[in-house]
Amino acid sequence: MAKVVCVLYDDPVAGYPKSYARDDIPKLDRYPDGQTLPTPEKIDFRPGELLGCVSGELGLRKFLEAGGHQLVVTSDKDAPGCRLERELPDAEIVISQPFWPAYLTAERIAKAPKLKLAITAGIGSDHVDLQAAMDRGITVTEVTYCNSNSVAEHVVMMILALVRNYIPSYGWVVNKGWNIADCAARSYDLEGMQVGSVAAGRIGLGVLRRLKPFDVKLHYTDRHRLPESVERELGATFHPNVESMIGVCDVVTINCPLHPETEHMFNDKLIGKMKRGAYLVNTARGKICDRDAVARALVSGQLAGYAGDVWFPQPAPKDHPWRTMPHHGMTPHISGTSLSAQARYAAGVREILECWFGGRPIRNEYLIVDKGRLAGTGAHSYSAGNATRGSEEAAKFSR
């Protein structure tokens, strides 16, 4: 029987919810491209419950213990000697989320001789050293598409929040003010702006489709060009690379995976090629942007605003400059962990586990690394290598 270590974020500060704001969540039949939602044989939770925190346990305990497996759930994942590191030597499966990632570095993988499967409860497996996983023959999976539309909605919200200067305006109300001039001094219409997406996969395409009704001019770049019919539908202009796109855009949204080719892509040089006063939104991965270059660009005015919910490392240290830089709209990594999304990624994790324990193939779209190579979605979206360097700084959050 297997030992399963599940790393989840902490419970709400007021305790695990006894009730919820809504009685249910909408039921979806399939994703926009026709892919079916997760199809586990059964679930042991009610959709709409908080599943991604420690007490939620992704709804897995009953299922795993009925099969004779051991489940360890913890949020203690970063400092040397943390609970995660203590449990790794005899763990066969590690489950983690992008929002509170269990960084599986080469060093940690070396300390886990029994590790066979790493599951991302969500999308984005850059917190695993993929090269080390390939070298060790560890299977890496994620629940592709489970929260892509959740993130796309978050992107649109953040674009509007920046362009319309929503967050400072809300602040005036909270502080009992009525400072209309202060609110309007940095507020613009999104209508007519040039908006570009770095990548047009499930999230990027979802963003472009949601923005089209705002009467903006759409642009995108991706190593896999969209079909001509989709470009016509959106009125979207394809650019062969990021550099050729960002110079024409008033708003740039980053929607590509983090891997060695995209690490620190938005540095001083690239940001310097953007329009002065452009907005940058990043719900992909924090490490795609150079942390200090973004802060400098906001101070200088090269960027009019930066918003996102992804940081590096996660959780971000309390002295991370993105907490205090001007004109930002940062949130913790929440875009893909709405209660609606949690129901899908928890069900997807269970589907993967059912396949694993039953000796059945895992869906190709859920595979990132398999049999020592990039596979499935991993082969389409990632490049070989390691993007976990520097993750040890996450330990500073709890100091």
pLDDT in tens, 113-144: 999 999 999 999 999 999 999 999 999 999 99
Q: Is 333 annotated as catalytic?
A: yes
- Which one-letter DSSP state was computed for residue 275? P
pTM: 0.96
Q: Which of 154, 239, 333, 350 is an active site residue?
A: 333
Q: Which of 165, 255, 314, 342 is an active site residue?
A: 314
Q: Per the CATH hierarchy, to which homologous superfamily does domain 148-330 belong?
A: NAD(P)-binding Rossmann-like Domain (3.40.50.720)
Q: Name the residue ranges covered by the structural domains of the chain.
A: 3-146+337-373, 148-330
User: Measuring CA to CA, how many Å separate 162 from each of 10, 307, 320?
Assistant: 29, 7, 20
Nearest CA to 141 among 94, 211, 88, 194?
Answer: 94
Q: Kindly report the backbone phi and psi dihedral angles of residue 382, in degrees, each rounded to the nearest multiple of 5, phi listed first.
A: -110, 170
What integer best gives the mean pLDDT of the chain?
A: 96
C-alpha span between 107 and 6 (Å, rounded): 19
Q: Is 344 annotated as catalytic?
A: no
Of all residues in the chain, the percent with pLDDT exceeding 90 is 95
- The pLDDT, as a whole number, for residue 399 is 60
- Which one-letter DSSP state was computed for residue 366? G
> From the CB of residue 185, how many other CB atoms can be counted at a distance below 10 Å?
10
C-alpha span between 316 and 307 (Å, rounded): 15
Mean pLDDT, rounded, for 62-74: 98
Beta strands in the chain (DSSP E): 3-7, 70-74, 93-96, 117-120, 139-142, 194-198, 217-221, 237-238, 251-254, 278-282, 303-308, 328-330, 367-370, 373-374
Q: Are 74 and 98 in contact (CB under 8 A)?
A: no
Please report which confidence band the pLDDT of residue 391 belongs to, taking 50, 70 and 90 as the band edges: confident
Q: Is 285 annotated as catalytic?
A: yes
Q: Which of 219, 285, 327, 350 is an active site residue?
A: 285
Measure the CA angle with vertex 5, ends 54 and 130; round to 5°: 115
Question: What is the secondary structure of 56-95 as a DSSP string?
Answer: TGGG-HHHHHHTT-EEEEES--SSTT-HHHHHGGG-SEEE
Beta pairing class for 373-374 and 367-370: antiparallel
Q: Are 206 and 197 in contact (CB under 8 A)?
A: no
- Pick from 43-52, 261-270, 274-283, 390-399: least confident: 390-399
Q: Hey, do 3-146+337-373 and 148-330 end up sharing a CATH topology, with the first three levels equal?
A: yes
- The pLDDT, as a whole number, for residue 390 is 85
Q: Is 255 annotated as catalytic?
A: no
Task: Domain 3-146+337-373: give its CATH architecture.
Answer: 3-Layer(aba) Sandwich (3.40)
Q: Which of 97, 131, 147, 302 is an active site residue?
A: 147
Nearest CA to 2 among 67, 85, 47?
Answer: 67
